[in-house]
Structure 1
Amino acid sequence: MKNIIVIFFSLIIQFGFSQGTEDFFTQADAFFKTYVSDGRVNYNEIKKDPSSLNQLLDMASSLSISKDQAKEYQAFYINAYNLAVIKGIVNAYPVKSPLDIKGFFDKTTYHLGGKELTLNDLENKILRKNFPEEARFHFVLVCAGLGCPPIIAEAYTPKILEKQLQRQTVKALNDPDFIKVKGNKVQLSQIFEWYKEDFTRNGSEIDYINTFRKEKIPEGAKVSYYPYDWSLNQIK
């Protein structure tokens, strides 16, 4: 009888957990569809009524997902990062750049997954540290600057995360404004300079980029990095 009771309560807890994460992904998807368009965020409208954003972050504060559930964990924290970025901008809005907000990346904390985390913590300790082979994170984590790959008008979800990661990486690495090729020279986003180790685990930066490119970059191409655009990715 005791074992039956334990199993019963385990199922209740599991169902409640799954339901909670499912609600989060559903509401996050509705939020991004409402306030994101063409890679930009309508911070002004969110500022007028931040209730849906605050509700999502409240939900995210109490959800606890094991990193062993890799896709669910990754999707949750990718969304959490993008939502926290939006929250940080909205709190200071109007603002021209995330860099104009003191401690935006390394001091301001958000209660997510039961922990107090900065944006840098989310990127480096939660995602990159736990999944060091997954460099595609850099094409879905959006820091509010126009130099980032564009934010999408949908939530990242466990069932289609692989497809979403692949799609956004292919899109970024084939974008002539993001990867600037001219003859035997190529200018890369500073993302490749800052996180070089993520892109060179199995070869060079060019090797990594060419994995996703339709038109391959010559192997001997001279690589340089163009300045990052920190202008706010806002809908004006």
Structure 2
Amino acid sequence: MSHQIFDELLKRYVTDEGLVDYRGFITDSVQLTEYIDLLSNNAPNDSNWSEDDQIAYWINLYNAATIDLVLQYYPVASIKDIGSSIQVPFVNTPWDIQFIEIAGERYDLNNIEHNILRKKWVEPRIHFAINCASLSCPKLRREAYEGELLQRQLDEQAREFVNDDFRNDITTTGASLSKLFDWFEGDFRKKMPLRAFINQYSEVKISEEVEISYKEYNWKLNDVN
């Protein structure tokens, strides 16, 4: 299926720094809704979708739905503020809101991240592609993910994230890493030891002697305004 609508929106409303023009997205909310409806009516399957096409689909859905969720409550200082304003039983965070409908079933963002992307595929680079609308998250890519481009896109996301000194401060004497590497260390270890994984992409290599610590996560909205 085509991700062209989302691709055009991302190019229009996301900066090179990964900041999002949410006010701009509001003006094109009809297009965003059209794209999410397209995803809703074209759920992937194992029989005639490649693995990379499926992963691209779910990453794009996560990112588009996150933007859509923020727009429903905008302006907010943080996506986490949305959770505190929800008056629905058993819904404590924005990631628990079941507002996404795919093939007649309702999903929340946690379903997509933890029960589909993380559970179905051993692909830790997914963590550099999905965006939680916060400053410490990996940058929202200024193009949609495509199955035929996915491996290159994920590699580029991993390399940029690891070497971004706002998110990871890596030197020859110490490494202060994103909390993503702490929270999801098990996902990275399914491929290889964490240091080895980071060293695939880091311009400065982390030796076994270097102590690793983790940065405080900044949940401020990744808003251009």
With normalisation by structure 1, the TM-score equals 0.85
2:204 alignment partner AA:
E
Percent identity over the alignment?
32
Counterpart residue number, 2:218:
229
1:55 alignment partner AA:
E
Counterpart residue number, 1:41:
20
Deviation by residue 1:54-99 (Cα, 9 ceiling, x = unmatched): 1111111111211462011011111000000000000000001000
Does residue 105 of the first structure (1) align with residue 74 of the second (2)? no
5+ long unaligned stretches in structure 2: 84-92
5+ long unaligned stretches in structure 1: 1-20
Which protein is richer in helix relative to its size?
Answer: 1
Q: Distance in 2 between matches of 1:37 and 1:202?
A: 32
Q: Distance in 1 between matches of 2:73 and 2:169?
A: 33
Q: Which protein shows a greater Rg?
A: 1
With normalisation by structure 2, the TM-score equals 0.89
Q: Distance in 2 between matches of 1:196 and 1:210?
A: 15
**Map of 1:1-236 to 2, 5 A cutoff?**
21-22=1-2, 25-38=3-16, 39-67=18-46, 69-102=50-83, 103-131=93-121, 133-236=122-225
Q: Is the 8 A contact 1:57 1:112 kept in 2?
A: no
**Which secondary structure does the structure 1 equivalent of 2:63 belong to?**
helix
Q: Distance in 1 between matches of 2:103 and 2:164?
A: 34
CA RMSD of aligned residues (A): 1.5
How far 1:175 moved relative to its partner?
1.7
Q: 1:113 to 1:32 in 2, by over 3 A?
A: farther
Deviation by residue 1:8-48 (Cα, 9 ceiling, x = unmatched): xxxxxxxxxxxxx12xx111211211211120111112223
Deviation by residue 1:109-153 (Cα, 9 ceiling, x = unmatched): 31135431111111111111000x200000010000000111111
Deviation by residue 1:162-221 (Cα, 9 ceiling, x = unmatched): 110011101111222222124422111111111110112244321110011222112221
